[in-house]
Amino acid sequence: MNTTLISHFYNEEYLLPWWLMHHTKLFDHGILINRGSTDRSVEICKLFAPHWEIRDSKVLEFDAVLVDQEVMNIEKEITGWKMVLNT
């Protein structure tokens, strides 16, 4: 059974290399939701997790309910085990 990690990020270039090195070993697949990063976060995700998906958030302004709904909608697309984590 496949395992999928879902997480959103915003300007996490310092933490992402370590976070991705750890989590790419634990999950078969990942979906990373870019919350509009302006640093090198997307580039780092592509470098450290080239087989994972990077999606731009559809929620332009932060709203906890809408962000949660976006994640839940992505969860519905996934079969197998899934886990949502913060970066």
The domain spans of the chain are: 3-86
Q: Look at the alpha carbons of 38, 20, 28, 46 in this order and tell me if their dihedral is positive or negative.
A: positive
pLDDT, position 38:
98
Q: How far apart are CA 84 and CA 13, in angstroms?
A: 19
20, 44 Cβ separation under 8 angstroms? yes
Taking the whole predicted model, whether its pTM rises above 0.85 is answered as yes
Query: CA separation (Å) from 4 to 21, 26, 53, 74?
Result: 15, 9, 11, 11
pLDDT tens figures, 30-66:
999 999 999 999 999 999 999 999 999 999 888 999 9
Q: What is the CATH number of domain 3-86?
A: 3.40.50
